Structure 1
C-alpha cells in the first residue's frame, strides 16, 4: 500500500507546501485516490504550482516558473540589463556567476523543477496505469505531459556541455570525471527515499527514452481530451512537446531521422491545435498583450495567475514584475531595465510590428549624433512637456515614463537602452500589484511550431521549403508582405534563429535554443547598452555558464553525484570590459561600425 504524506496535498493559494511530520501525519494513496475531489485538486495544483514556488529550507524565495525561465534567458545574447544593476535580483544569471553553494540563485532550477516533478509524480503514483476511467486517464495524461516538459527543460539546464571558445581555455575548469551527455537524476513515482540517496545522473539517451515514453502515454491518454483551460495540455501540446524533444535529440545523434520527426510533429501540432498566429493588435494591446490566454488563439499551453491568488502576484520573481517597464510597484523590474540587445533591435525591420515591443531611442530623444569635440555619440533628450509617443502603444503616460527611465535612475546608455514593453499588466493596471500581476503567460505558442518546421527543414537540406516557411511566419509580422529571404547555408539558419529570438524574447524559449545550437553570447561589442561591465561577454559556441552546477546540498545527500557535478568556472577575466569606465566610453556606437 502506497503512503503519501499529507504535506503533499495541503495546497494553499500560492501552492506552497507545509512540512508535516511524516511519521505521524500521512494518509494512504488508496484513501486519497478514493476521493475524486482530492485527486482533482492535486491535478489542478500542477499548473498552480508554476505560479509560485517557495522552499525556505533550501533558500528559495517565492519564484514563478516564468521567473525562472527569465533568469535563464538573462544568460543569452538578447537579454541586456540597461538600468540600475543594484536592483537586479537575477544578477547571478546576468553575470554568469552560478555557484552551487549557499543561497546563490544558481540553485533555483534544481529545487524548482524537482518540486514540479514531485507534484506530477504524486498524481501518477495514485492512478492505475490500466484504468478504464476516462477522467483518471485524462489526469494521468496531464501529469505525464507535464513531467515530459519538466524533464526536458531541467535535463537541458544541467546537461554537461563543455565550453567551446578557445580564447578562454585557461579559465575553464575540467570536471573530475567524464560528464559527456550526462543530464539529471531521474525521479519517478516509484523512486524510494533510499533510491534518491544514490541516484546517478542519467545519460541523455536514457533521459529521452523516459521522456518519449511519457509522451507516448500522454498521446494515448489525451486523445479524446478537450482541456477546460489552456493551463492543461491538449493532444496538440503533446505533439508540440514531441517536436521539441526531437529537435533536442537531433542535436546529439541521428540528425536526419530526428529532424524529420520534429518536422512531422510540429506540423501535427499546428494542424491539431487549430491555433493561429498572433495579430498585430493582439501582440501590442496595452491591456491584454501577452497577459491573457483567452484574448487570442495562438497560445497552446499557458501558466495563469488568478485575481484571487494574491500570493502568486507577490514576490520579486514574478514575471510581470521582472519585465514591468511601466509598473510602479517593483523597482526590481522597471528600474533594472530588462532590455533587448541593440544589435538585435537594429536587425529588426522597421516594418515589423514586433519592434514596437521595445522602446527605441526615438522615445527618449529627439535626435542622436556624433559629437566631434567630445569624441563620442551624443543626444538631445525630449523635454518634460513633450507628449511624443510615436507608434508605441503604452499603458502609462509617456511623459511620466520618460521622467523615471533616466540616467539618474541608472540607465547609463541613454537613449540606446531598448527596455521592453512586451508583457503587459493585467487589464493595463500598472499602478497596483493586485491585480496588476494577475497575468497569464505562454508556455507554448503555435508560432514555435512554425519555427521548428523552418529549422528542421533547413537541417534536412530543404532550404527552399525552409525559406517558404520563414516567409509565411514573417508575413504575419511584416504584414505588407515585403519580407524576403534569399539567404542560404548557415546564413539561412542565422536568419531563422534571429527571427525566432525576436519572436520569443522573454518567454523562456531562447536559452534552450542557445545551448542546443551553441549560439554563443554577443554582449561585448563596442556600444552595448549594459549598465554594468560584469554583464559583458563575447563568447562563441557554448558559454561556460550555460551548464549549471547541482546544489552542494544535493551532492552531499546523493553520493552518486560526488565527483560528477558540473564544475563552477566563473572568472571575472572573461568579462569583455573590466570596468564601467571602459564599457561606457563606447555608448552610442552603432553595431554597424564594425562590431
Structure 2
C-alpha cells in the first residue's frame, strides 16, 4: 500500500499547487516520480500542498476541450437542457444527445475525473490518519476537506451514471472505494452509493470549521452546501432546508450583490461565490474554461453557445440578468439570434461552482415541500426583487409556486451548473425544447438518456 500512496502523492504534487509553500522540501531537488510520505505528511504545510494538488486536478484536461475539468461536466449538463443552444463544436454531441455510447468522450471523462480525484483523496486520508505530525484539530480540518471532496465526486457519479434517486428503476450504481486500490470493486446499489455520499459529507460537516485558505478550499459552509444539493436531489426536504440555510448563513442581504452580476463571472472574490475553481496565469487551462470560452462572443474564444429565444422572453427589461442581445443581427427565429454577456472570457477567469443564490432557492423549494409557502415566497421574492427592481410580489401558490421557484433557478443559474437538466432528472420530468433550437428534442421523464453508460474501458478492466 505504501508504494501506492507514494505514487499518488507524487502525481498530486507534480500537477501543481495553488498555495505558496516555502518549506525546504519544496525548494530542494527531489526525484520526480516519488516523494516520501514522511515528508509530505510531516507538516500541515506539506499536507496542504498535497491537498492543493488534488484541488488542481479538478481543472485537469484528460481528453480534449469538452473533457477538461469539473467545469466541463457541469457545462455538458447545461447544454442538455432547453435554455442554451450549442453550435456544432465542442459540447455539440451533448447538446444533440449523441453521447450515450460507452466508448465516447463524455462517458469516459465523466467517469475518469471523479475516480481520479477519489483515488487521490483516499491516498490523502491514509497519509493524514497515519501521521503523528498533526494535532487533532489539524486532522479534522484536513480529513474533513478530503471527505467532502469524496462525497461531492461520488454525488457527481450518481448524477451522471445512475437513475434518479426518486426513480423506481434499480440499475447498478458505480463502485465505491474508501481506500487506495488497484483492483476494481464490485458495482454498488443506489442505496449503498447514497449512504456513502451522505456518510462522507455528514462526517466532513462535523470535522470542518469556518476557516479556509481561499474559496477553492472547503470549509463547513461548503460541506453544508454539498449536503443541501444532495438532500435536495434525494427529496429529503428538512435536511435540505437546514443545510442550505446553514451554508449561506441566513442573512440573505449579506450574500447577494446584484451589481456584481454584470461583472463577467470571472472572479472568485465576488460576494455571491461560495466555492470556485480559480485560475492563475501560470496554471491556466486556456480555452478549456467553461462557460466563458463558449459563451463570450466578444473575446477571442469559441463563440459556441447561444440562447433559446423563449428563454430570453422570460426576463424583464429591468432584470440585471437580462444580458441578451442579437449580437450577430440574425433574423428572428434563427438559432444564432441571441447570445449573452453573462460570462467574460480570459485565460485567468475563475470558474463558479456554487453560489449563494442556489442555496437560497434550495431553501425556498424545501420550504414549499414542507408546507411553508409563506417562507418559500419570502425567499423567492427576496432574490427576484434583488435582481429586478420592478418585480412584483409573488401571489401564486401550490404547484404554480413550485414552478416559479424552478423557473427562478433557471434564470439565476443558466450556463453555470446545468440546473434545468439536473431538476428535470431529480424530479422525474422530461425536457422539451421549443422555439429557435438548432436541435428540437422531447425527452420523456426517466429516459435512459438522463444517465451515461458505464464506460467500456471500465467494463474491459473487469474481464
The 1:183–1:129 alpha-carbon spacing in structure 2 relative to 1, beyond 3 Å, is: farther
Q: Is contact 2:15–2:53 with CA below 8 Å preserved after alignment?
A: no
1: CA distance, partners of 2:414 / 2:101? 27
Give the SS at the match of 1:80. Answer: strand
Name 2:219's counterpart in structure 1. Answer: 234
Name 1:508's counterpart in structure 2. Answer: 417
Q: Would you say 1:517 and 2:427 are equivalent positions?
A: yes
Q: When the two structures are superposed, what TM-score results if normalisation uses the length of structure 2?
A: 0.87
2: CA distance, partners of 1:181 / 1:496? 31
1: CA distance, partners of 2:332 / 2:93? 21
Q: Would you say 1:302 and 2:285 are equivalent positions?
A: no
1: CA distance, partners of 2:297 / 2:312? 17
2: CA distance, partners of 1:506 / 1:38? 36
Name 2:28's counterpart in structure 1. Answer: none
Give the SS at the match of 2:306. Answer: strand
Q: Of 162, 176, 193, which residue of structure 1 is paired with 2:182?
A: 193
Q: Is contact 2:78–2:415 with CA below 8 Å preserved after alignment?
A: yes
Name 1:292's counterpart in structure 2. Answer: 267
User: How far 1:339 sits from its partner (Å)?
Assistant: 2.5
The 1:113–1:268 alpha-carbon spacing in structure 2 relative to 1, beyond 3 Å, is: same
The 1:200–1:420 alpha-carbon spacing in structure 2 relative to 1, beyond 3 Å, is: farther
Name 1:12's counterpart in structure 2. Answer: 15
Q: How does 1:431-470 map to 2 (within 5 A)?
A: 436-470=346-380
Q: Is contact 2:308–2:335 with CA below 8 Å preserved after alignment?
A: no
2: CA distance, partners of 1:25 / 1:235? 34
Residue-by-residue CA offset, 1:183-235 (whole Å, 9 max, x unaligned): 321122x24223x1xx2332222122212221222123212x41120001121
Name 1:41's counterpart in structure 2. Answer: 49
Q: Of 243, 249, 269, which residue of structure 1 is paired with 2:228?
A: 243
Q: Is contact 1:141–1:218 with CA below 8 Å preserved after alignment?
A: yes
2: CA distance, partners of 1:325 / 1:153? 29
Give the SS at the match of 1:146. Answer: helix
User: How far 1:537 sits from its partner (Å)?
Assistant: 0.4
- Count of aligned positions: 444
User: How far 1:31 sits from its partner (Å)?
Assistant: 5.2
Name 1:418's counterpart in structure 2. Answer: 338
User: How far 1:179 sits from its partner (Å)?
Assistant: 5.9
The 1:160–1:212 alpha-carbon spacing in structure 2 relative to 1, beyond 3 Å, is: closer
Q: Is contact 1:276–1:446 with CA below 8 Å preserved after alignment?
A: no
Identify unmatched segments of 5+ residues in structure 2. Answer: 19-31
The 1:115–1:487 alpha-carbon spacing in structure 2 relative to 1, beyond 3 Å, is: same
Name 1:2's counterpart in structure 2. Answer: 2
Give the SS at the match of 2:351. Answer: strand
Give the SS at the match of 2:357. Answer: helix
Residue-by-residue CA offset, 1:224-257 (whole Å, 9 max, x unaligned): x41120001121111212211211222xxxxxxx
Q: Is contact 1:97–1:545 with CA below 8 Å preserved after alignment?
A: no
2: CA distance, partners of 1:274 / 1:221? 26
Q: How does 1:249-288 map to 2 (within 5 A)?
A: 249-250=234-235, 258-271=236-249, 276-285=254-263
User: How far 1:2 sits from its partner (Å)?
Assistant: 2.5
Q: When the two structures are superposed, what TM-score results if normalisation uses the length of structure 1?
A: 0.68
User: How far 1:318 sits from its partner (Å)?
Assistant: 4.4
1: CA distance, partners of 2:329 / 2:115? 41
Give the SS at the match of 1:353. Answer: coil
2: CA distance, partners of 1:203 / 1:348? 42
User: How far 1:33 sits from its partner (Å)?
Assistant: 2.1
Q: How does 1:294-373 map to 2 (within 5 A)?
A: 294=269, 296-310=270-284, 312-315=285-288, 318-328=290-300, 330=301, 333-334=302-303, 336=304, 338-356=305-323, 358-359=324-325, 364=326
